[in-house]
Structure 1
Amino acid sequence: MDYKIGKSSQKDSRQAVSEAAAGLINPKLVLFFSGVDGFEDYTRELKLTFPDSIIMGATTFAGFCKEGAYKETLMVLGIEDGIECYGDVLEEVDKYPLKYVDRVETCVNKFSNYANMVCLEFSTALISSEELILSTLNSVLMKKKIPLFGGSAGDRGMAEKTMISFNGVVMDKACAFVIIKNLQGGIRFYRENIYKPTEHYFTSTKVDVRNRIVYEYDYKPAAEVMAKALNTDVSHLDKYLDSYPLGRIIGSDMYITANQMVTNQNGMAYHARVYNNSKMVLLEPDDYKEVIKQTAKQIKAEVPKPSLSIMVNCLARSILFEKDGYLNDFAKQMGNSIGNYIGFAGYGEQLNQQHFNQTMVIAVLE
Structure 2
Amino acid sequence: MSRQQAQLAVAQDIVSGVARAGSEQQDPVRAAAEIYRALAPCEPTCVVFYCCTRYPLELLARELSRYFPDITVIGCTSAGEITPLGYKKHSISAFGLSQSLFAVESVLIENLAAFTKSDADTLVDGMLNNLRKKAVTSSPIDKQCFALSLLDGLSVREELVINALSESLHEIPLVGGSAGDDQHFVDTQVFHNGKFYSDAAVFMLVNTACNFEVFSQHHLAPMQEKLVVTQVSPDLRVVQEFNAEPAALEYCRINNLKLEDLNSRTFAMYPLAVQIGDHLYIRSIQQVNDDLSLTFFCAIDAGVVLTQMTSPGLLSHTSMIFNLLEESVGEIQLLIGFDCIHRRAEIDEYQLEEDMSELYMEHNVIGFSTYGEQINGLHLNHTFTGVAIGYPRDQANPDLTLT
TM-score (norm 1): 0.88
CA change 1:241–1:9 in 2 (3 A) is closer
Tell me how far 1:72 sits from its aligned partner.
Answer: 2.3
Tell me how far 1:321 sits from its aligned partner.
Answer: 1.9
Give the Cα–Cα distance (whole angstroms) in 2 for the partners of residues 11 and 66 of structure 1: 17
SS of alignment partner, residue 110 of structure 1: helix
Give the Cα–Cα distance (whole angstroms) in 2 for the partners of residues 245 and 82 of structure 1: 40
Q: 1:109 aligns with which of 129, 132, 135?
A: 129
Tell me how far 1:118 sits from its aligned partner.
Answer: 1.4
Corresponding residue number in structure 2 for 1:119: 147
SS of alignment partner, residue 311 of structure 1: strand
Tell me how far 1:363 sits from its aligned partner.
Answer: 0.8
User: Which deviates the most, 245-254 or 264-273?
Assistant: 264-273
Could you report, residue by residue, the CA deviation over 1:121-151 in whole angstroms, capped at 9, with x for unpaired residues?
Answer: 111112322112213322422xx31111111
Letter in 2 for 1:156: D
Corresponding residue number in structure 2 for 1:37: 54
User: Which deviates the most, 47-56 or 15-24?
Assistant: 15-24
Letter in 2 for 1:346: T
Corresponding residue number in structure 2 for 1:258: 284
Corresponding residue number in structure 2 for 1:288: 314
Q: 2:381 aligns with which of 347, 357, 361?
A: 357
Task: Tell me if 1:199 matches 2:224.
Answer: yes
Give the Cα–Cα distance (whole angstroms) in 1 for the partners of residues 339 and 317 of structure 2: 14
Tell me how far 1:219 sits from its aligned partner.
Answer: 5.8
Give the Cα–Cα distance (whole angstroms) in 1 for the partners of residues 181 and 370 of structure 2: 7
Give the Cα–Cα distance (whole angstroms) in 1 for the partners of residues 299 and 244 of structure 2: 18
Task: Tell me if 1:49 matches 2:67.
Answer: yes
Letter in 2 for 1:75: S
Corresponding residue number in structure 1 for 2:111: 92
Corresponding residue number in structure 1 for 2:44: 27
Contact 1:34 1:73 in 2 (8 A): yes
Letter in 1 for 2:360: M
SS of alignment partner, residue 370 of structure 2: coil
Give the Cα–Cα distance (whole angstroms) in 2 for the partners of residues 210 and 241 of structure 1: 21
Where does the alignment leave 5 or more consecutive residues of structure 2 unmatched?
1-15, 133-140, 391-403
**Across the two proteins, how many residue pairs are aligned to each other?**
359
CA change 1:232–1:108 in 2 (3 A) is same
Corresponding residue number in structure 2 for 1:300: 326
Letter in 1 for 2:114: Y
User: Which deviates the most, 324-333 or 341-350?
Assistant: 324-333
Give the Cα–Cα distance (whole angstroms) in 2 for the partners of residues 36 and 353 of structure 1: 28
Letter in 1 for 2:53: V
Corresponding residue number in structure 1 for 2:33: 18
CA change 1:294–1:92 in 2 (3 A) is same
Task: Tell me if 1:184 matches 2:210.
Answer: yes
Task: Tell me if 1:82 matches 2:82.
Answer: no
Q: 1:152 aligns with which of 155, 170, 178?
A: 178
CA change 1:168–1:100 in 2 (3 A) is farther
User: Which deviates the most, 169-178 or 44-53?
Assistant: 44-53
Letter in 2 for 1:350: Q
Give the Cα–Cα distance (whole angstroms) in 2 for the partners of residues 341 and 271 of structure 1: 24
Corresponding residue number in structure 1 for 2:8: none
Contact 1:21 1:76 in 2 (8 A): no
Letter in 2 for 1:129: R
Give the Cα–Cα distance (whole angstroms) in 2 for the partners of residues 362 and 68 of structure 1: 16
Corresponding residue number in structure 1 for 2:157: 129
SS of alignment partner, residue 54 of structure 2: coil
Give the Cα–Cα distance (whole angstroms) in 2 for the partners of residues 130 and 315 of structure 1: 17
Tell me how far 1:169 sits from its aligned partner.
Answer: 1.4
Q: 1:60 aligns with which of 59, 63, 78?
A: 78
Where does the alignment leave 5 or more consecutive residues of structure 1 unmatched?
none
Tell me how far 1:289 sits from its aligned partner.
Answer: 2.4
CA change 1:64–1:157 in 2 (3 A) is same
